[in-house]
């Protein structure tokens, strides 16, 4: 009897986090019949990253309470996971990847979802510092929790006053630590928000008993008998049992670069998340992509971008012609305060503050470029976030005077230019 063995195509994914995992499940939703195999260096079943600096850090939960998908879900959808496996190279000519144990895996379609890693700045003495951690993985959280539990004095210095640094400060404070945040810029969150927002968060942390210092350029860490002195260029120094580094990320682009995949501030992809190789897609934190709303190329570090690009790439791999055209959004939770952001504020000419009568922990900052609404940051104000989303999506003309007037009822119809 003649047996015809039909070879199913295989889609191989490098990186099984928000982007890679959503891609795999989206492929099945789009009807991909072939195999799907995900590789990740992290040995843990893929988990949500945002809670790592927020609720998960303060809980006693194991990572099993924080998974992107259950183990059974992968089985049910016939998605193979190779965890604790690092990919070491890509051979585009033979459509093959090599793993760090030397074995190889062929692909028909390859998805690069390798994300990013924390920057460890070249500070003198940083390699020998005791209990110094970044915060990107479940293992990092375990280390931080252990170090905190083992420390009596619990003095934590956080280098970097961005979202991750500030969220970690709030969480560790809740766990009883004495927390100091050192920010190099003149204000915290300088890269991502207006001064009004920076002031709000600086005040919030101060009220909660966290010391936030700006203009602090850390130049050296001196460690003696297990105790760190964190030294700044202005001569000040801070004692730390534990140091957390939160100064930004670097894209994991090396594998792609050595395979000749085009880079430009990340992996360069088109509107279908495809690279310069038609069989290789890239999604998530590692990509540099075009955003039609803002008419420019951007790199985003957000769950929204990872999930939405995953859906676009999955549709494209299944032969459709999707176009990535979504509005960026993001959130941050610190002490019971909820920040929600939509849009990109870069290039704004001015802001409009919208306060809600009788509640100073509920307001929103609206970023305009002349008449055009670019972005909204909403504090404890999901309504502002939702209205802002609709206005930006619709390209609506907002009446800035009415918006700023808290006696005008907060409804879309009331806020537009007649």
Partner 1 sequence: MAKITFITTDNESVTLEADSGSVMELAVQNNIKGIDGDCGGVCSCATCHVHVAPEHVEKAGEASEIEKDMLELDDNADEFSRLCCQLDVTDQLDGIILRVAV
CA distances from 254 to 12, 23, 114 (A): 18, 21, 10
Q: Which is nearer to partner 1, 274 or 303 (CB)?
A: 303
Q: Residue 255 binds which entry of ligand FAD, partner 1, none, with Cβ cut-offs from 5 to 8 Å by kind?
A: ligand FAD
Tell which one of 69, 109, 131, 216 touches partner 1 (CB under 8 A).
Answer: 69
What is the nearest approach in angstroms of partner 1 to the Cβ of residue 109?
Answer: 23
What is the nearest approach in angstroms of partner 1 to the Cβ of residue 331?
Answer: 4
Q: Residue 406 binds which entry of ligand FAD, partner 1, none, with Cβ cut-offs from 5 to 8 Å by kind?
A: none
Q: Residue 360 binds which entry of partner 1, ligand FAD, none, with Cβ cut-offs from 5 to 8 Å by kind?
A: none
Cβ-based neighbours of 295, under 8 Å, separated by 6 or more: none
Q: Residue 190 binds which entry of ligand FAD, partner 1, none, with Cβ cut-offs from 5 to 8 Å by kind?
A: none
Q: Which residues bind ligand FAD (CB under 6 A)?
A: 14-15, 17-20, 39-42, 49-50, 52-53, 86-87, 113-116, 135-136, 164, 252, 255, 284-285, 301-304, 306, 330-332
Q: Residue 285 binds which entry of ligand FAD, partner 1, none, with Cβ cut-offs from 5 to 8 Å by kind?
A: ligand FAD
Q: Which is nearer to partner 1, 85 or 137 (CB)?
A: 137
Whole-angstrom distance, CA of residue 216 vs CA of residue 184: 4
Q: Which residues ranging from 303 to 322 are in contact with partner 1 (CB under 8 A)? A: 303-304, 307
Q: Which is nearer to partner 1, 297 or 410 (CB)?
A: 410
Q: Which is nearer to partner 1, 73 or 237 (CB)?
A: 73
Q: Answer whether 231's CB lies under 8 Å from 220's CB.
A: yes
Whole-angstrom distance, CA of residue 18 vs CA of residue 284: 8
153 binds partner 1 (CB under 8 A): no
Whole-angstrom distance, CA of residue 391 vs CA of residue 387: 6
| Count of residues near partner 1 by CB under 8 A | 28
Query: Which span (180-188, 242-250, 275-283, 376-384) binds partner 1, by CB under 8 A?
Result: 376-384
Query: Which span (50-58, 237-245, 255-263, 286-294) binds partner 1, by CB under 8 A?
Result: 50-58
Q: Residue 116 binds which entry of partner 1, ligand FAD, none, with Cβ cut-offs from 5 to 8 Å by kind?
A: ligand FAD
Q: Which residues ranging from 322 to 341 are in contact with partner 1 (CB under 8 A)? A: 331, 333, 338, 340
Q: Which is nearer to partner 1, 46 or 241 (CB)?
A: 46
Q: Which is nearer to ligand FAD, 46 or 126 (CB)?
A: 46
Q: Answer whether 89's CB lies under 8 Å from 258's CB.
A: yes
Q: Answer whether 377's CB lies under 8 Å from 163's CB.
A: no
Q: Residue 382 binds which entry of partner 1, ligand FAD, none, with Cβ cut-offs from 5 to 8 Å by kind?
A: partner 1
Binding mask 28-47 for partner 1 (x = CB under 8 A): -x------------------
66 binds partner 1 (CB under 8 A): yes
């Amino acid at each position: 009897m003649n047996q015809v063995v039909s070879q199913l195509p295989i889609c191989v994914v490098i990186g099984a986090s928000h982007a890679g995992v959503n891609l795999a499940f989206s492929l099945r939703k789009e009807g991909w019949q072939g195999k799907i195999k995900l590789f990740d260096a992290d040995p843990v079943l893929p988990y949500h990253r945002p809670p790592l600096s927020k609720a998960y850090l303060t809980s006693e939960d194991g990572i099993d309470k924080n998974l992107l998908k259950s183990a059974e879900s992968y089985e049910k959808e016939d998605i193979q996971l190779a965890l604790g496996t690092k990919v070491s190279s890509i051979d585009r000519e033979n459509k093959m990847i090599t793993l760090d144990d030397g074995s190889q895996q062929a692909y028909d379609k390859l998805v690069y979802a390798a994300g990013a890693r924390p920057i460890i700045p070249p500070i003198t003495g940083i390699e020998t510092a005791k209990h110094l951690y970044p915060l990107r993985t479940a293992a990092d959280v375990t280390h931080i929790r252990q170090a905190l539990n083992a420390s009596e004095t619990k003095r934590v210095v956080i280098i970097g006053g961005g979202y991750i640094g500030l969220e970690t400060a709030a969480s560790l404070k809740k766990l009883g630590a004495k927390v100091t945040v050192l920010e190099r810029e003149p204000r915290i969150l300088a890269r991502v928000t207006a001064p009004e927002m920076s002031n709000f968060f600086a005040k919030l942390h101060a009220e909660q008993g966290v010391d936030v210092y700006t203009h602090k350029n850390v130049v050296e860490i001196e460690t003696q008998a297990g105790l760190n002195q964190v030294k700044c260029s202005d001569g000040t120094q801070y004692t730390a049992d534990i140091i957390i580094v939160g100064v930004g990320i670097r894209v994991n682009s090396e594998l792609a670069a050595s395979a000749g995949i085009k880079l430009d501030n990340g992996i360069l992809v088109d509107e279908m998340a495809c690279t310069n190789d038609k069989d290789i897609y890239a999604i998530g934190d590692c990509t540099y992509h075009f955003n039609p709303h803002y008419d420019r190329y951007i790199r985003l570090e957000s769950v929204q971008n990872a999930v939405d690009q995953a859906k676009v790439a999955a549709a494209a791999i299944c032969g459709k012609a999707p176009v990535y055209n979504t509005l960026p959004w993001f959130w941050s939770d610190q002490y019971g305060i909820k920040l929600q952001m939509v849009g990109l504020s870069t290039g704004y000419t001015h802001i409009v503050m919208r306060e809600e009568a009788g509640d100073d922990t509920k307001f929103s900052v609206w970023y305009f470029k002349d008449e055009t609404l670019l972005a909204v940051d909403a504090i404890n104000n999901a309504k502002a976030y939702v209205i802002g989303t609709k206005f930006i999506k619709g390209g609506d003309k907002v009446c800035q005077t009415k918006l700023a007037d808290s006696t005008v009822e907060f409804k879309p119809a009331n806020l537009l230019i007649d």
